[in-house]
Chain A
Amino acid sequence: MITAALIFAFACFGIGALFCLWRIILGPDSADRVLALDTMVINMIGTLVLYGIWQGTAVYFEASMLIAMVGFVSTVAYCRFILRGDIIE
Chain B
Amino acid sequence: MPDIAELLITIFIVLGGAFGLIGSFGLIKLRDTMQRLHGPTKAVTLGIGSVLIASMIYSYAIEGHFSFHEFLITLFMFLTAPITANFIAKAYITRKVAKRELPETGSDYGWSIYDDPPIVENEEQT
Residues of A within 8 A of B (CB): 1-2, 4-6, 8-13, 15-17, 19-20, 22-23, 28-32, 34-36, 38-39, 42-43, 45-46, 49-50, 52-53, 56, 58, 61-62, 64-65, 68-69, 72, 75-76, 79-80, 82-83
- Expressed in whole angstroms, the minimum distance between the Cβ of A61 and any Cβ of chain B is 4
User: How many cross-chain pairs have Cβ atoms below 8 Å apart between A and B?
Assistant: 160
B6 touches A19 (CB 8 A): no
A68 touches B54 (CB 8 A): no
Which chain A residue has the least Cβ–Cβ distance from B26? A19
B interface bracket (residues with beta carbon within 8 Å of A): 35 or more
- The interface centre, meaning the residue of B13, B23, B90, B113 with most chain A CB atoms within 10 A of its CB, is B13
Residues of B within 8 A of A (CB): 6-7, 9-10, 13-14, 16-18, 20-21, 23-25, 27-28, 33, 36-37, 39-40, 44-45, 47-48, 51-52, 54-55, 58-59, 62, 67, 69-70, 72-73, 76-77, 80, 83-84, 87-88, 90-92, 94-96, 113
Query: A residues within 8 A CB of B95?
Result: 29-31, 82
